[in-house]
Amino acid sequence: MHRLGRRLQVPKGQTVVLEGDESLVVGNVIEGLLKLSVVSADGVEQIVGIAYPADFIGRPFGPSSGHSVTALVDSTLCVFPRRAFDAFTEEHPLLAQALLRRTLDDLDRARSWMVLLARKSAPARVASLLLDMNRRIARPGNRVVRLPLSRQQMADLLGLVIETVSRSMTSFKAAGFIDLPRGRLLEVRDLEGLERIASG
């Protein structure tokens, strides 16, 4: 299957799949980080998901993609032409199976994100995101991570406004839960504290 695909380098900021277009390619993230986003009529962007390495992107079969896919940092993908992929799937049931499992997982994640958007307070949302990113990005050894998202992007993901994100973070810092040495650097100092906020 890997023979069908080819490596694709995507520089930061470039869009791979455009909202509303038929998805021309599908593929896996090898390295990097992409956002899945929808921009509504009034120009407000909502990020509906983040694709980490090993995640699948694109919309096989049927209709057009409901969201754009854009690289947040320089990324490398393994892509397949969509139509070839659709056909390939018919002949290789295990592929469809594997993809089905992942899609079910994605669906579960989307649904729990819905709960966050519908019910949690702004600080709880921000804390959840910080924990999630810390968990997925942290390398054992260095306790400070570089956040891959700007404040604006965090806001777009959480359904908040940039000022609210900023205020939440400085309040966490004041409470000693985190440190923000500068720019996008983050150190979690009190995981439990942050978790308590996240579940409030």
Partner DNA sequence: CGCGGATTTGACCTACGTCAACACCCGTGG
Partner DNA sequence: CCACGGGTGTTGACGTAGGTCAAATCCGCG
Interface positions with its own copies (CB under 8 A): 36, 38, 40-41, 44, 46, 48-49, 59-62, 66-67, 89-90, 93, 96-97, 99-101, 103-108, 110-115, 117-119, 158-159, 199
Cα–Cα separations (whole angstroms), residue 188 to 50, 68, 152, 162, 171: 21, 31, 21, 21, 13
When binding is defined by CB under 7 A, the residue of 163, 176, 191, 199 that contacts DNA is: 163
Q: Which partner from the list DNA, its own copies, none does 165 bind, CB cut-off 5 to 8 Å by kind?
A: DNA
When binding is defined by CB under 7 A, the residue of 121, 135, 175, 176 that contacts DNA is: 121
Contact assessment for residue 56 and residue 107, using Cβ atoms and an 8 Å cutoff: no
Close Cβ partners of 190 (under 8 Å, ≥ 6 residues apart):
176, 177, 178
Candidates 30-38, 59-67, 69-77, 178-186; binding stretch for DNA (CB under 7 A): 178-186
Q: Which partner from the list its own copies, DNA, none does 169 bind, CB cut-off 5 to 8 Å by kind?
A: DNA
| Beta carbon nearer to DNA, 184 or 196 | 184
Contact assessment for residue 122 and residue 160, using Cβ atoms and an 8 Å cutoff: yes
Close Cβ partners of 91 (under 8 Å, ≥ 6 residues apart):
none
Close Cβ partners of 43 (under 8 Å, ≥ 6 residues apart):
none
Residue 166 interacts with DNA (CB under 7 A): yes or no: yes
d(CA 60, CA 63): 8
| Beta carbon nearer to DNA, 32 or 123 | 123
CB of 168 to its own copies, least distance (A): 16
